[in-house]
């Protein structure tokens, strides 16, 4: 079975509170991209995991990998090959999306939250609103496909450290998400982790600055990946080429997000 695990992009990520156990309450508009990891599963005896691809370095091939833990929840036996195209610790849910792909294909979706706050939203590749700590997800209609450039400056952002650097945890939510999500509305939204991430690494500001010609540039998740929304695929490809040429050590990809309609 061939499975795709798209990148998760937080078009908006508002931190609206904190639970007694320390987890933060979020209000986020999440979309997924055509670009992502690829998994191949084949049923058989036992469980084995092999990881290859441009971001396979340092990715465990045992129980430490969320894919393995998802396979255990799904009671899947056989081989899994994970082709890693998404950088990890990057705010685009690579590991969560990989795990969700296994749960979706082989069962156990009801236990997604056990694997991480971002895993439930990754069970669908359609635009969704994510609330609570990540467990409350609902489909959002009226989100178009956006031409995106994803840029990662190679900085691994430890999510707990970024949350700790937050100065305010009781920010306003997104309110009513309009019937048609427009750039103008998105511009009025925020990623509340962005300021905290800028305090953790100066590279965030450099990364956002590289997307200066985008219609909207924002950080995804707890960073360090930032995205730019461009008017069409050509301008996204041109911006990606420009940034990749200036920053050969960065990860830069032009892609599209998956719309509500398909």
Residue placing its CB nearer to ligand C5P in the complex, 162 or 240: 162
Which residue of the set 27, 37, 98, 118 is catalytic? Answer: 118
Q: Is the peptide bond before 159 cis (omega within 30 degrees of 0)?
A: no
Q: What are phi and psi of 85, to 5 degrees?
A: -105, -15
Question: Minimum Å distance from CB 215 to ligand C5P?
Answer: 28
What is the C-alpha to C-alpha distance for residues 47 and 253, in angstroms, rounded to an integer?
33
b/e sequence 212-224, b meaning 16+ C-beta within 10 Å:
eebbbbbbbbbbb
- Minimum Å gap between C-beta 193 and ligand C5P is 10
Distance separating alpha carbons of residues 227 and 103, to the nearest angstrom: 27
Least distance (Å) from ligand C5P to the CB of residue 233?
A: 32
Angle between helices 94-106 and 66-73 (to 10 degrees): 20
Catalytic residue flag (residue 98): no
Q: Please, what is the minimum distance in Å from the beta carbon of residue 112 to ligand C5P? A: 11
Name the one residue in this structure whose structure tokens are 């730019």. 228
Binding site for ligand C5P (CB under 6 A): 23-24, 26, 116-118, 133-134, 159-160, 163
> Residue 132: left if φ>0, alpha if ψ -120 to 50, beta else—which one?
left
Buried-state track 141-155, b at ≥16 Cβ within 10 A, e below 16: eebebbbbbbbbbeb
Residue placing its CB nearer to ligand C5P in the complex, 121 or 236:
121
Closest CB to ligand C5P among residues 4, 159: 159
Report the distance separating Cα 102 and Cα 194, nearest Å: 30
Q: Which is nearer to ligand C5P, 27 or 125 (CB)?
A: 27
Query: Based on CB atoms, which residue is closest to ligand C5P, 160 or 248?
Result: 160
User: Which tokens sit at 36?
Assistant: 């992502």
118 catalytic per annotation? yes
Q: Which residues are catalytic?
A: 8, 118
């Amino acid at each position: 079975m061939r499975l795709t695990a798209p990148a998760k992009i937080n078009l908006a990520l508002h931190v609206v509170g904190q639970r007694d156990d320390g987890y933060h309450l979020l209000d986020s508009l999440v979309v997924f991209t055509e670009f992502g990891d690829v998994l191949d599963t084949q049923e058989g005896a036992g469980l084995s995991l092999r990881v290859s691809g441009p971001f396979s370095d340092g990715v465990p091939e045992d129980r430490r990998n969320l894919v393995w833990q998802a396979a255990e929840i799904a009671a899947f036996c056989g081989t899994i090959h994970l082709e890693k195209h998404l950088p990890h610790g990057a705010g685009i849910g690579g590991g969560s999306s990989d795990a969700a792909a296994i749960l979706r294909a082989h069962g156990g979706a009801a236990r997604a939250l056990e694997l991480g706050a971002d895993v439930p939203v990754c069970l669908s590749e359609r635009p969704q609103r994510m609330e609570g700590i990540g467990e409350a997800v609902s489909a959002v209609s009226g989100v178009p496909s956006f031409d995106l450039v994803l840029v990662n400056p190679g900085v691994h952002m430890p999510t707990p450290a970024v949350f700790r650097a937050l100065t305010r945890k009781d920010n306003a939510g997104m309110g009513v998400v309009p019937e048609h999500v427009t750039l103008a509305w998105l511009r009025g939204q925020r990623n509340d982790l962005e300021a905290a991430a800028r305090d953790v690494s100066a590279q965030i500001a450099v990364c956002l600055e590289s997307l200066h010609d985008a219609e909207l540039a924002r950080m995804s998740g707890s960073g360090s990946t930032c995205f730019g929304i461009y008017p069409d695929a050509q301008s996204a490809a041109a911006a990606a080429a420009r940034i990749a040429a200036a920053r050969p050590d960065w990860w830069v990809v032009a892609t599209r997000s998956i719309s509500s309609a398909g």
